[in-house]
């Protein structure tokens, strides 16, 4: 398996669609609204050009198997929090047929190295509480609960 920075947008859109479709069953309360512009060509091109973002693609046997997008943030100090450099995982999708073969872990290892190099002190992400596969995956990689988001539909 080969992991490299994405060199074009072609394989990304399909993986993003696969990830989006997977999240629909978790969205029992209709909170996820379609935002097609967020996988548009211009948006993807901007992601690839942004030095604060990392877009990785994993390939094996000439086929794209997975993608990861991460970004760096600086949180200013506030009354409660010290200033902090954070890396967030924005998307991670391993195509269904290629799961449980270590690709997700390999992508996260690369993203973590990039985040450290970029000065991030913490890596974080949010995911649906119902996505138990991803919860188990991140837990296996050493992630744990940081905050809890509560909501009430009005």
Ligand X SMILES: CC(C)(COP(=O)(O)OP(=O)(O)OC[C@H]1O[C@@H](n2cnc3c(N)ncnc32)[C@H](O)[C@@H]1OP(=O)(O)O)[C@@H](O)C(=O)NCCC(=O)NCCS
| Range in contact with ligand X (rule: CB under 6 A) among 46-54, 71-79, 88-96, 116-124 | 88-96
Given 93, 111, 115, 120, the residue binding ligand X (CB under 6 A) = 93
Shortest approach of ligand X to residue 57 CB, angstroms? Answer: 13
Rounded-to-integer distance, Cα 25 and Cα 28, Å: 7
Write the DSSP symbol of residue 152: -
- Whichever of 129 and 133 has its CB closer to ligand X, that residue is 133
Q: What are phi and psi of 66, to 5 degrees?
A: -165, 160
Shortest approach of ligand X to residue 63 CB, angstroms? Answer: 14
Q: Interface with ligand X includes 102 (CB under 6 A)?
A: yes
Scan residues 6-65 and list those touching ligand X (CB under 6 A): 19, 22
From residue 22, give the alpha-carbon distance in Å to each of 5, 61, 86, 99.
Answer: 24, 25, 26, 14
Task: Answer whether 38's CB lies under 8 Å from 44's CB.
Answer: no
| Range in contact with ligand X (rule: CB under 6 A) among 44-52, 90-98, 109-117, 143-151 | 90-98
Rounded-to-integer distance, Cα 36 and Cα 111, Å: 26
């Amino acid at each position: 398996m080969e992991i490299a920075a994405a060199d074009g947008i072609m394989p990304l859109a399909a993986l993003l669609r696969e990830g989006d479709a997977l999240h629909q069953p978790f969205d029992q309360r209709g909170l996820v609204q379609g935002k097609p512009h967020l996988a548009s060509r211009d948006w993807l091109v901007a992601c690839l050009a942004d030095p604060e973002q990392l877009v990785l693609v994993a390939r094996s046997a000439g086929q794209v198997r997975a993608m990861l997008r991460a970004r760096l943030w600086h949180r200013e100090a506030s009354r409660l929090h010290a200033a902090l450099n954070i890396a967030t995982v924005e998307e991670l999708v391993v195509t269904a047929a290629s799961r449980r073969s270590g690709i997700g872990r390999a992508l996260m290892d690369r993203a973590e190295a990039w985040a450290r190099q970029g000065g991030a002190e913490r890596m974080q992400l949010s995911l649906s509480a119902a996505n138990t596969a991803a919860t188990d995956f991140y837990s296996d990689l050493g992630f744990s609960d940081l905050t809890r988001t509560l909501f009430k539909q009005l």
